[in-house]
Amino acid sequence: MGNEQQDRPGDPLTALLDQVRLRLRDLDDGEPASYIPELGRVDPDLFGLSLCALDGQVYASGDTTTPFTVQSVSKPFVFALALADHGLENVLARVGAEPSGEAFNSIRLEPVTGRPPNPMVNAGAIVTSSLVAGDGPDERSARILEGLSAFAGRPLKVDEAVFASERATGDRNRALAYLMHNAGSLTGDVEEQLAVYFRQCSVLVTCEDLAVMHATLAGGGVNPVTGDRVVAPRHAQHVLAVMATCGMYDASGQWMLQVGMPAKSGVSGAIGVALPGQFGIGVFSPPLEEKGNSVRGIAACHLISDQFGLHLMRATVPQRRPLPPRSLHPAPLRSLRHRPRSQREALDARPDRIRVHVLQGDLDFATAEQTLRAARELPGAVSWFVLDLTRVGRVETVAADLLRALGEDLRTRGTRMVLADPDERQAMARPADEFPDLGRALESCEDGLLAELGLDPDAPVPLADCDLFGRADARVRAALADAFDTLRLPEGETVEPPGARLSGRIVLWYVESGRLAVCADSVSTVRTWSAGPGAALTPADFPARMSRQVLAERDTVCRTLTAEGLMRLRASVPEAVAVLERAPLEGAETVDRADTA
């Protein structure tokens, strides 16, 4: 019976596959193939769905390790072996590449040449398996088994009972083979050629094998699990092209229209799908519709294609940020918020709590899947997982779905997913966890961490408590506090131009409450830095570029020390100036800062 357990509970991609499978569990149309008697003995409720990403990660839902015979799903792979042995021209001389529009066991051959229409129908497959190099049928069968095993990344075996059953009852294939022999398109001993073909169809695979085999084609011929090159990239391309036009027998046109991914089905109830450059899928569910394709298999592929927006012909808009899709490794980063020493030290002591993962280019299935993997490998201490989407162009539906599911999954594990996304694609995260730039996203995580540690980053810090004053005694502190002026900035007020008012006469700024930020302009959301209560700033912190301005993001109280004030202080309480000169100003820090400018 189809089992319901998940192989990796909580994994968002596995969960999506589970959803697809569970939605189709009650679809009970069709019957398992019985024209090969041994195939009729299968449990019709078996249902498995596997996906293999191009980094070799296999996701599995349902009965994905139950063996079944590969049947026609072997055809693309044996076609690939024939191409490797003879090249495209020579193979095309013997078998066409046109959709037949007819059933898998169609008897129609090309008029003059006697060529079968394509390698995906039985007649064409009998010819391609006869083309695989080898001295005699045993050697050819051995090469085919070895080849299919290389595609699967593990040694495969033949189901001798199915082989015997098919050989004993395969008169229609026999008839086809004799016709082709008569027409000159099949050469050699017909019974021997048929035995090679029947053995190839009787190779046992699992859903997971199919996913890896198709991922090998999708990845240009390199098996993503073993790393071995199985066929040349151009041959993988040829195979995918023929699968796209002929893989689903006389339903191929409809398939391309609705699912839009190269695929091949077999009468055992298997369907293999390859999305070039993205992944391979294996589906297994024995009941077939009248054309010989798995009912649930077709429905599952429809759902996956639709839900994830994977149709090959879907027009893609040119990417806005022309960068190669990439998912960079998580790195610890700090925001550009000026903070008092107590907060800086608390954050420095816990660099493992916040992780940043940088994505760039268009976000497709593969990049999203890599992100899921990065999230899976996060150290247990991480409580905030920041996804930096500021260099991301288009986000495909499947990627948005996966990232949204990742956010939910992380939350159940006590980690918040926080997005830095100037396009505010809120579909992917809770609005509260989405910020227009990396700086703000990091600030929010840091604030959360500080709150967890019992430090309130927004609580006012009066100048008298300022950590710049170190261990100075009360008299010195009072003298220092007196020397500062008070500047009140209501929320939204900008100080412009900053050079004149801020860095001119003022030598030291101290934020008692509220928040200051330096922005490119008054409407810009991208900030160079921000400063909260307890932060001390020197003129060097203020922008030299006049185009930038300082904005009070909240009602803010600043204390400022002017050059004259400092001179007066030097004359009256020289120890106080000495205290300031020893003050550990934040600019001296070496922490790796998020570059949000």
Q: Nearest distance from residue 289's CB to ligand GLU, in Å? A: 12
**Looking only at residues 67 through 86 of this chain, which bind ligand GLU when binding is defined by CB under 6 A?**
71-72
Closer residue to ligand GLU (CB): 118 or 370: 118
DSSP, res 532? -
Name 101's Cβ contacts closer than 8 Å, sequence gap at least 6.
250, 253
Task: Transcribe 420-459 into DSSP letters.
Answer: E-TT--GGGS-GGGEESSHHHHHHHHHHHHHHHTT--TTS
The residue from 61, 173, 285, 367 that contacts ligand GLU (CB under 6 A) is 173
Is 178 annotated as ligand-binding? no
Residue 511 backbone dihedrals phi, psi, to 5 degrees = -95, 115
Q: Of 2, 287, 292, 533, which lies in the binding site for ligand GLU, with binding defined by CB under 6 A?
A: 292
Of positions 166, 388, 409, 447, contacts ligand GLU by CB under 6 A: 166
Q: Convert 532-544 to b/e letters by CB count within 10 Å (16 or more is b).
A: bbbbbbebebbbe
Among 61, 66, 122, 343, binds ligand GLU (CB under 6 A): 122
Question: What is the rounded CA–CA span in Å between residue 153 and residue 212?
Answer: 7
Active site residue 197: yes
Question: CA-to-CA distance for 220 and 225, rounded, in angstroms?
Answer: 14
Distance (Å, whole) CA 371 – CA 52: 15
Closest separation between CB of residue 168 and ligand GLU, Å? 13
Work out which of 186, 240, 244, 267 binds ligand GLU, going by CB under 6 A.
Answer: 267
CA distance 217 to 247: 14
Under the criterion CB under 6 A, does residue 148 sit at the interface with ligand GLU? no
CA atoms of 58 and 206, how far apart (whole Å)? 12
Closest separation between CB of residue 140 and ligand GLU, Å?
A: 17
Q: Is 266 in the site for ligand GLU (CB under 6 A)?
A: yes
Residue 510 marked in a binding site: no
Active-site hit among 50, 61, 72, 305:
72
- 35 assigned ligand-binding residue: no
Distance CA 395, CA 279 (A): 17
Q: Max alpha carbon distance in the chain (Å)?
A: 115
# binding residues, ligand GLU (CB under 6 A): 11
127 binds ligand GLU (CB under 6 A): no
CA distance 205 to 457: 58
Cβ of residue 417: shortest distance to ligand GLU, in angstroms? 43
- The answer to the question of whether 118 is labelled as a binding residue is no
In the set 249, 268, 283, 495, the catalytic residue is 249
Q: Which residues contact 459 (CB under 8 A, 6 or more apart)?
A: 533
Q: Supply the minimum distance, in Å, between the C-beta of residue 71 and ligand GLU.
A: 3
Active-site residue, 75 included? yes
267 marked as binding residue: yes
Question: What letter would DSSP give residue 74?
Answer: G
Q: Return d(Cα 401, Cα 284) in angstroms, integer.
A: 24
- 71 or 327: CB nearest ligand GLU: 71
Nearer to ligand GLU, 294 or 528 (CB): 294
Residue 201 interacting with ligand GLU (CB under 6 A): yes
Binding status of residue 163 toward ligand GLU by CB under 6 A: no
- Helices 75-92, 233-246: axis angle to 10 degrees equals 100
- Whose Cβ is closer to ligand GLU: residue 141's or residue 390's? 141
SS3 195: helix
C-beta of 293: minimal distance to ligand GLU in Å?
A: 9
**Helix runs in 170-309, H state only:** 171-183, 190-201, 207-218, 233-246, 252-258, 295-308
Cα–Cα nearest to 151, from 200, 187, 193: 200
What's the closest the beta carbon of residue 428 comes to ligand GLU, in angstroms? Answer: 41
Task: Please report, as residue ranges, which positions from 85 to 114 form the binding site for ligand GLU (by CB under 6 A).
Answer: 104-105
Q: Which is nearer to ligand GLU, 195 or 531 (CB)?
A: 195
Active site residue 249: yes
Residue nearest to ligand GLU (CB): 72
The gap from C-alpha 192 to its chain's centroid, in whole angstroms, comes to: 46
The residues carrying an active-site annotation are 72, 75, 197, 249, 267
Q: Give residues in contact with ligand GLU (CB under 6 A).
A: 71-72, 104-105, 122, 166, 173, 201, 266-267, 292
- Residues annotated within the binding site are 72, 122, 166, 173, 197, 249, 267
- Residues annotated within the binding site for substrate are 72, 122, 166, 173, 197, 249, 267
